Structure 1
Amino acid sequence: MGEKKYFVYILTNLHNTTLYTGITNNIFRRVQQHKQGEGGQFSQKYKMRKLVYYEVHCDVRTAIAREKEIKGGSRIKKVELIATLNPDWLDLTLEAGK
């Protein structure tokens, strides 16, 4: 049986002006929900459609703590974090879903 994975992720809108941080155990499904406008009020309002950053954790408590850490950081910190994985801010949905 496979090991459970938890993803902490950052989404943005088409123009990269708004960031949303979340957590899920199925990154591909969750991002598809956001893209279809089913991701919650914030992501619907700001049209969060592009996955620009993600991390994989094996422990849900660690993932939740990391999500809170990222959410509590400034926009500058989030942009720096995105740049470490995805300096061109490409949509990583297909890569993350593998």
Structure 2
Amino acid sequence: MQKKHPHFFVYIFGEEPGADVQIGIADNLLQRVAQLREQDHSIQPLSHKLVYYEHYDEEAVALNRERQIKSGDRNSTNSLIASMNPNWLDLSDTL
């Protein structure tokens, strides 16, 4: 049996520049998108748009990158998103 190659994704969910974003890490990004969309957002409204993601082969590298993004300010996060997705489109269909 062939060993499965690990995948780790750092992701950002958001609606538009200047709005709150959710930054996280997942080993199955499609599953994480579905989980976030199924949550009860009446308690804590969240965006349903995947606006940014990065892929890594090692969990430790992905965790470090997540921490790096979270430590930045809103402007740096907005710039990062704009570098990949200037129109803040939902990227979940591209996975």
TM-score range, shorter chain: 0.7 to 0.9
C-alpha RMSD over aligned residues: 1.7
Q: Does 1:89 align with 2:91?
A: no
**What residue identity is the alignment partner of 2:34?**
Q
Paired with 1:36 and 1:12, the residues of 2 have a C-alpha distance of: 16
Deviation at 1:3, TM superposition (A): 1.6
Counterparts of 2:55 and 2:45, CA distance in 1: 25
**1:29-85 alpha-carbon deviations (Å, 9 max, x no partner):** 1011111116xx8xx613221100000000000000000000110000000000111
How high is the TM-score relative to the length of structure 1? Answer: 0.84
TM superposition score normalised by structure 2: 0.87
> What amino acid maps onto 2:10 in structure 1?
V
- The corresponding residue for 1:24 is 26
Does residue 80 of structure 1 match 2:82? no
Q: Which runs of 5+ in 1 are unaligned?
A: none
Per the alignment, in what secondary structure is the counterpart of residue 10 of structure 2? Answer: strand
Instruction: Specify every segment of 5 or more residues in structure 2 that has no aligned partner in the other structure, as ranges.
Output: none
Structure 1 runs of 4+ aligned residues shifted over 6 Å read: none
Partner residue in 2 for 1:70: 69
Greater C-alpha Rg: 2
Q: How many residues align?
A: 91
Percent identity over the alignment?
35
